Amino acid sequence: MLEGVPSSLLRRTAVTTAAAATAVLAPVSWLVRATWGLPTALGASRRRLLPTVASSPQWSDGKFHNALPAPPMPKNGPRKGLLRQVHEERHNGLPGAPVPVAAPELPADAAELAVTWFGHATALLEVDGQRVLVDPVWGERVSPSPLLGPTRLHPTPIPLDQLPQVDAVLVSHDHYDHLDLPTVRELVRTQTAPFVVPLGVGEHLRGWGVPAERIVELDWHAETRIGGLTLTCTEARHFSGRFFARDTTLWSSWVVAGPRRRVFFGGDTGYTPAFAAIGARLGPFDLTLLPVGAYNDAWAAIHMTPEEAVRAHGDLGGDVLLPIHWATFNLAFHRWAEPAQRVCAAAERSGVQVVVPLPGQRVDVLDPPPATDWWSAVGSAVEGQPDGDDAGMRTALLARTASRRSLRRPAG
C-alpha cells in the first residue's frame, strides 16, 4: 500500500484502470478476431494470377468479361436504392422457423442418376456410378472473416468427413458462398479427388495447400475426363472476386456427362442465350441444377429469377429441374420462401418437372418423389408482421442460433 493513500482509493483506482484497459482492449481484440486469417482467405493476388489467366479469350483490359456484357447498375431513386433496401429489408431473407434438414441416405455405390442437395449451391451428384461434389460450402459464415458476413440459416446435413469418397470436386467461381477455405482444407484431408475449377481459381487452391496434381483448371468450352465422366467448363453470366479485386478469375457453369446420363450445374449466373447453345451442343440434360435465389433488380444481369431459371431449363433441354442457390444464406432482399414458391409456380405453368428436396435429402432422379411443399410451413421472418413488429425476426434469429450450436464445422 502506498504510504498515506487510503486503501479504498487505491481499490477504486485499480478498478477504474482495469475498466479503461478493457474498454480499449476489447475493440482491439474483436478486430484481431474479425480479421484473423484474412490475407489467406482473400486468395491469390492479381500478380500471381496473371500467368494463368492472361491468355484466355475471355480476358482483356486486365480482367475477365462476360460474353454478353452486363448493363450498369441502375441509378434508382432514394426510396428504391440498395441503401434503403439494406436498411429496411435486410431481414426479409430470414426464415420464419427452423429450416428442416434431412439426414442424407448415401448408398455405398453411386447410382445411375441421383442428387443430394446440402443447401445453397452445394450438392452431391451421382452420375453413371461416379460421384461429383459441386460448390462445397460447409462453413458457418460465407465471408473472409470469422465474425462478419452472412451466417448459415440451417445446420449442415452431414459432417464433411462423413461424405463417401467422391471422384471430382467442381467449383463454379470464387465467391465465398461457392468457394469456402475451411471446406477446401478439409476436403484435402479427407478426400483424394481432383478439384476441377475455372481459370484462376486453381491459384487460390494452390495457396491454400491443395497439391498441384489435384487441380484441373479449364477455360470455357474446355473439358477433362475423370473416370467415365466428361466434365465441360461452360459459359455463365456472372463475375468473380474475393475482395476489392474484381473479375480476376473466371466464372462458369458445368456439364457432367457420363455414358448414359447428363447433368447441367449452373452454379451462379444470370440468364443468358448461351444456355440454348449449351443445350444444343452438349444436351439434352436429365437433370439441371439452376440458381433461383439472391435476385434483385439491381443485379438482374448476373442472378436469375426463379422464372428465368425455368426458362433456362427449357433452353438447356432439361428433364428434371432442381432449384439451388437459396434457403441457406441471407444474400438478398426477397423473402426466404419466395424462390421455392415462384419456381414451383413457374414450373407448373411451363409443364416442367421440379424437385425441391429438404437440405440433405437424396433424390433418385430416375424415380423422383412427388413434390411436397415444406418451405411454406417454414415461411419468412417478415411474413404477416405489421411494421415495427419484430416477432418474425426473433423467430429467425432463434433458428439461426440453434443452427450454429448444432453445426459441426470442418477443421482447418
What one-character-per-residue DSSP string does 66-91 give?
-SSPPPPPP---TTTSHHHHHHHHTT
DSSP string, 344-374: HHHHHHHT-EE--PPTT-EEETTSPPPP---
CA distance linking residue 195 with residue 221, whole number of Å: 17
In a domain, 154, yes or no: yes
Sign of CA dihedral 178, 181, 184, 190: negative
Q: Which of 36, 309, 27 is nearest to 146 (CA)?
A: 36
Q: Which of 109, 121, 130, 115 is nearest to 174 (CA)?
A: 121
Global confidence as pTM = 0.85
pLDDT of residue 6: 67
pLDDT of residue 86: 56
In a domain, 52, yes or no: no
What's the domain range around 334?
Answer: 113-406
In a domain, 130, yes or no: yes
In a domain, 30, yes or no: no
In a domain, 48, yes or no: no
- Could you say which residues of the chain have pLDDT below 70? 1-38, 72-89, 383-412
Cell of 231: 466434365
Give the domain CATH number at 210: 3.60.15.10
Q: Which of 338, 280, 351 is nearest to 305 (CA)?
A: 338
Cell of 351: 409443364
pLDDT of residue 336: 97
Residue pair 188/194 in contact (Cβ under 8 Å)? The answer is: no
In a domain, 70, yes or no: no
> Could you tell me where the beta strands, DSSP code E, fall in 53-192?
59-60, 63-64, 113-119, 122-127, 130-134, 168-170
- CA–CA distance from 288 to each of 27, 326, 357 (Å)? 47, 15, 14
Total structural domains within the chain: 1
In a domain, 345, yes or no: yes
pLDDT of residue 18: 55
- Per residue in 93-141, pLDDT (tens digit) is 999 999 999 999 999 999 999 999 999 999 999 999 999 999 999 999 9
In a domain, 283, yes or no: yes
CA distance linking residue 367 with residue 176, whole number of Å: 34
